[in-house]
Every structure is written in C-alpha cells, then in structure tokens.
C-alpha cells in the first residue's frame, strides 16, 4: 500500500490516535484533513501541526456527515483515504446509570452508525480515485469485552462484523478495506487514567502504518494478537484476564 501523495480524511483527528496518524501521514508527504466536534481542539491541533487541514463537524449527526462529505467533494475531490477513527466511550454501570439510554444512543451513533454511513457516502468518490482505502479503527475488545464499557464493546464488535462483510462484498472493486484493532493506547481518550497496559500512541500508530504498508487488511496492534489467540483457545480465561486489568 502506497502511503505517500494521498489525500486523507481522519475523523476524530484532533487528539490521540487521530492526531498522531495525521502527524505520521504528513511526514510521509500526504495531505491530511482532520475533523472533530470541538473547534478549540481542532485549533490546538492546527497550531501543533500547521500543515493539517481542519473541519468542524459532529459525525454522530446525519446532516453533519452529509455536510462533511459535500465539503470534501467540493474542496478535496481527489480524497482517496477515509479513516473512521472517531469514537466515544461511557465507563459506567448499565443497571444503575439513569442516563444509560442517552449514552447508549450517542455511542451507537458515533461508533457504529457514523462509520457505516461515511463508508456509504464516500464510496462513489473513493471508487473514482486511485489507490483508495477505507480504514475502520476497532479494538482488541471485539474478542474479549471489558465489563466497564457496556456499549463501546458492542459498537466496535458491530463495526468489525460490518467491515468483514463490506470487504467481502467489494471483492473485485479497486478499493482496499482495512480494519485496525487497537490495544489500550495512552491518549486523552482515557481522561488521564489509561490502563496500566496502555502503550504509547506513537508506538501504536507506527505499528499500524508499517502493517498498512505491507498490505495487511486486518491489523492487530500490540497485545491484540495475544488477546485474539486467548479468545480462540480459552474465551472464558480471555474475558477474565481483560477484566482484571487495572484502570
């Protein structure tokens, strides 16, 4: 996979994995557009990485997704890579959380409906452009969910399943469909309390990009390879192990 001279859109790109991806791809000679809900965070990202192009939108809202697509089509019609990275999580108890249903809807809209919708919206554009790629970011928790994330696990498992079917249905179409399963990564996503097993964001992104260059379509970063093997050999043990992690 050629990872230079591309025009790349990264959702949730104002911090964490998204911003590190932008930094990595820009250093390789790509043009990178990031979007996010917070103009303040996007402006900070722009100050940190002046070459990046920013666009404010909330991908959990259908009209905002359409607005994003229309803007890209008009201003960057040669865009050939979509990275669905935006995600939110509620660390909570399903039974006792009075606002659980509102949190559930927002997580499903952001983590599952948004990337599926963006895949559909951008498909005609990407099919026209050369060396096109869609990357869906999921997690090793698709194999063994963490009990503190009652909805997040399910949304990412759903995106994993969709990505497999999407890739299968697009056989013969000159468009690569890649899934990246991330481990715990030390980013602001954890609100200053990352799990002890979290790896540096630079390490996670570097491994992801190297594996993309080799043409891998299902990329397991860091400890996800071990969790995958455990989930196949001893699923109950894998579930117990991932839920014994501190943080």
Q: Any idea which residues carry the catalytic annotation?
A: 152
> What whole-number distance in Å separates Cα of residue 86 and Cα of residue 115?
8
Q: Which residue has the tokens 């715990």?
A: 184
First to last CA, the chain: 36
Say if CB 183 and CB 217 are below 8 A apart. no
Strand order in the sheet with 132-139: 53-56, 31-36, 7-11, 81-84, 132-139, 175-182, 218-220
Cα→Cα distances 80→154, 164, 219, Å: 29, 20, 20
Q: List the structure tokens of 80.
A: 């050939």
Residue 245: closest CA among 139, 141, 153: 141
Say if CB 211 and CB 204 are below 8 A apart. no
């Amino acid at each position: 996979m050629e990872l230079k001279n591309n025009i790349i859109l990264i959702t949730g790109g104002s911090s964490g994995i998204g911003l590190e991806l932008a930094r990595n791809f820009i250093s390789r000679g790509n043009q990178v557009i990031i979007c996010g809900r917070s103009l303040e965070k996007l402006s900070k990202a722009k100050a940190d990485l002046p070459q990046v192009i920013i666009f404010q939108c909330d991908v959990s809202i259908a009209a905002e997704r359409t607005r994003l697509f229309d803007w890209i089509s008009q201003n960057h019609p040669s865009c050939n890579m979509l990275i669905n990275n935006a995600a939110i999580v509620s660390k909570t108890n399903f039974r006792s959380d009075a606002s659980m249903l509102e949190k559930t809807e927002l997580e499903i809209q952001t983590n599952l409906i948004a990337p599926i919708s963006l895949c559909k919206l951008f498909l005609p554009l990407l099919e026209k452009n050369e060396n096109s790629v869609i990357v869906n970011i999921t997690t090793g928790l698709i194999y063994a969910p963490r009990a503190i994330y009652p909805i997040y696990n399910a949304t990412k498992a759903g995106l994993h399943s969709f990505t497999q079917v999407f890739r299968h249905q697009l056989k013969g179409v000159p468009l690569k469909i890649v899934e990246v399963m991330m481990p715990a990564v030390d980013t602001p996503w954890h609100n200053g309390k990352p799990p002890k097993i979290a790896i540096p964001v630079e390490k996670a992104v570097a491994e992801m990009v190297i594996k993309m260059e080799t043409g891998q379509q299902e990329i397991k970063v860091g400890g996800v390879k071990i969790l995958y093997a455990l989930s196949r050999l001893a699923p109950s043990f894998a579930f117990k192990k991932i839920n014994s992690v501190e943080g």
